Amino acid sequence: MTAFENWIGFGLCILGVVLLKFIKGKEPWRYGNLLVGIALVLLASFAFGLFVDMGTLFDLLAQSKKIDQTMHDRAKSIAGVWAFVFPGVVAAIGANLITGWVTSKGPANAERQG
């Protein structure tokens, strides 16, 4: 049971890296950077809600005696770490991309293109 939240966390990390691969080497004024930044902030919000709700799920499983207290404590602490570390880092990267897009200047003679 304690590996469950780790696998979900690793899967979300891979999704974040895949999103970042789309903008690698692109100029900061492109719309793709804005869209990836927004997607990363949304991913961070989703991950935070998911891992916080996992803590409630583990409480219910412990109350119904489907998992023992040791497994409950371990699973809840791992989900708690994932709930704050992963969304904080991903949201910061997304906010940085959004800020970079807002503050950058596009090419002088062309419209902004994605």
As a whole number of angstroms, the distance between CA 75 and CA 70 comes to 9
**Residue 113 covered by a domain:** no
**Residue 34 covered by a domain:** yes
**Residue 81 covered by a domain:** yes
Domain hosting residue 65, numbered range? 2-103
**Number of domains present in the structure of the chain:** 1
**Residue 59 covered by a domain:** yes
**Residue 109 covered by a domain:** no
**Residue 110 covered by a domain:** no
Q: Minimal CA–CA distance to 41: which of 98, 91, 99, 88?
A: 91
For 101, counting Cβ atoms within 10 Å of its Cβ (0-12 exposed, 13-18 middle, 19+ buried), the class is buried
> 10 Å Cβ neighbour count for 110?
8
**Residue 44 covered by a domain:** yes
| pLDDT tens, residue order, the chain (114 aa) | 557 788 888 999 999 999 999 898 888 888 999 999 999 999 999 999 999 998 889 999 999 999 999 998 998 898 889 899 999 999 999 999 999 999 988 776 555 555
| Contact indicator for 94, 40 with CB cutoff of 8 Å | yes
